Amino acid sequence: MNLLPGLTISGGPLRHWAAGAAGRVRSWPTVGRAELLLQRYRRRRWVLALGGTAVLVSVAAAAPIMAGTGNPETGVTRSATAAAASRSQAAAAASQSQAAAWVAQQVSPGVTVSCDPGMCRQLQRDGFPAARLKPLPNSARILRDSGVVIATSAIRSQFGLRLAAVYAPQVIASFGSGAARVDVRTIAPAGASSFRTQLDAEQTALASAGRQLLGNKNIRAAPSAQTALRAGQVDARLLTILSLLSAQMPILLLGFTGAPGAGPGAPLRGAEIGVASSAARSAVVALLDAQQNPYRPAVAAVADGSHPAVALWFDAPASLNLSQP
């Protein structure tokens, strides 16, 4: 290899020629410069060689580390996605469990309930009559033959905007939020438009009946109860019972109760009624138990508290025909 290009004599390198040629006098400055260049080249070659080795060692050492870790952000993202999915599933399961328990307790066992297959199974486990459950296949597009539909995320996706706009305009109870939300809706057999017209007329009639009860000298009512009566928010069956009780004895309306998450227009179906004595309380419970449907409460029991009181409520859904001629 010619290390000093352009400086050859008789085909040999300058260093060999300068050392062995007879009768020639070395020119030390020239040879010194040549040797200096050779020494620098040798040092540069070792530096490059060592540097290359260092690079190879560094890459070899880093390779298993890089192969072991991969992209850390990808692992974090996957973990966060899995955690979010787990939370969503848990929230949906909790909402469905709460809705199923509420329906089994509060909805009349004589009402047909439409639901997705999984929700129907849960309702049956919670004690709702299997004969009154109507599992909806994925192909179902019409809701007409039931009184109530349990609107899980699957049912909302299946029916879309038509669920509230056409088939089931009223929410009588709701559990959870977001995609995990479960609504209990009243189905309108004649359509949403007809239902809303009938509901407006019902509330007008209920408000009139409520004001009449407030004029009854045997009825005293807490402020919140007075507001509900004047606004037509109290179930017609409950108003009838209050009128019946006030004809027998003085009563105190401590308050009305509704369902969690109920929408506008859903009537208050429960009440807590105070009476003068324990004997009067027993008489109230006996009178309520003696009623026939639709005026027999689903529950009538002694209420907790320092004063004698009775707690009662009626099944859902409320009828829109009881208060109107």
Amino acid at 207: A
Its pTM stands at: 0.73
Looking at residue 48, its pLDDT comes to 38
Six token digits for residue 106: 């509060």
**302 forms bridges with which residues in the sheet?**
310
Q: Is the pLDDT of residue 263 over 80?
A: yes
Angstrom distances, CA of residue 192 to CA of 5, 121, 128, 292:
99, 28, 27, 31
Q: Is the pLDDT of residue 65 over 70?
A: no
Give the model's confidence band at 76: pLDDT under 50 very low, under 70 low, under 90 confident, else very high. confident
Looking at residue 23, its pLDDT comes to 42
Q: Taking a C-beta distance cutoff of 8 angstroms, is the pair 266, 258 a contact? A: yes
Q: Is the pLDDT of residue 224 over 50?
A: yes
Mention every residue, 6+ apart, whose C-beta is less than 8 A from residue 196: 169
pLDDT tens-digit profile of 137-178?
Answer: 999 888 888 999 999 999 999 999 999 999 999 999 999 999
Looking at residue 72, its pLDDT comes to 61
CA–CA gap between residue 163 and residue 319 (Å, rounded) = 20
Q: 309-313 and 270-274: which strand pairing? A: antiparallel
Lowest mean pLDDT among 15-29, 185-199, 206-220, 302-316: 15-29
Looking at residue 163, its pLDDT comes to 96
By CB neighbour count within 10 A (0-12 exposed, 13-18 middle, 19+ buried), where does 235 fall? buried
CA–CA gap between residue 304 and residue 321 (Å, rounded) = 33
Looking at residue 295, its pLDDT comes to 96
DSSP line for 86-145: HHHHHHHHHHHHHHHHHHHHHB-TTS-EEE-HHHHHHHHHTT--GGGEEEPPTT-----S
CA–CA gap between residue 321 and residue 110 (Å, rounded) = 17
Q: What is the CB-side half-sphere exposure of residue 180 using CA atoms within 13 A?
A: 18
In the chain, the percentage of residues whose pLDDT exceeds 70 is 75
**Tokens 């060999």 map to which residue?**
16
The more confident residue out of 51 and 86 is 86
Looking at residue 141, its pLDDT comes to 87
Q: Is the pLDDT of residue 59 over 80?
A: no
Looking at residue 77, its pLDDT comes to 78
Six token digits for residue 67: 């192969």
In the chain, the percentage of residues whose pLDDT exceeds 90 is 66
Kindly give the residue spans of alpha helices, DSSP state H, lying in the chain: 14-20, 28-69, 72-106, 117-125, 153-159, 162, 192-214, 223-230, 236-246, 278-289
Radius of gyration of the chain (CA): 44
Report the candidate in 114, 98, 115 with the shortest Cα–Cα distance to residue 106. Answer: 98
Give the model's confidence band at 70: pLDDT under 50 very low, under 70 low, under 90 confident, else very high. low
Q: What is the mean pLDDT of the chain?
A: 83
pLDDT tens-digit profile of 240-258?
Answer: 999 999 999 999 999 999 9
CA–CA gap between residue 81 and residue 15 (Å, rounded) = 72
Looking at residue 165, its pLDDT comes to 95
3-state secondary structure of 240: helix
Looking at residue 69, its pLDDT comes to 52
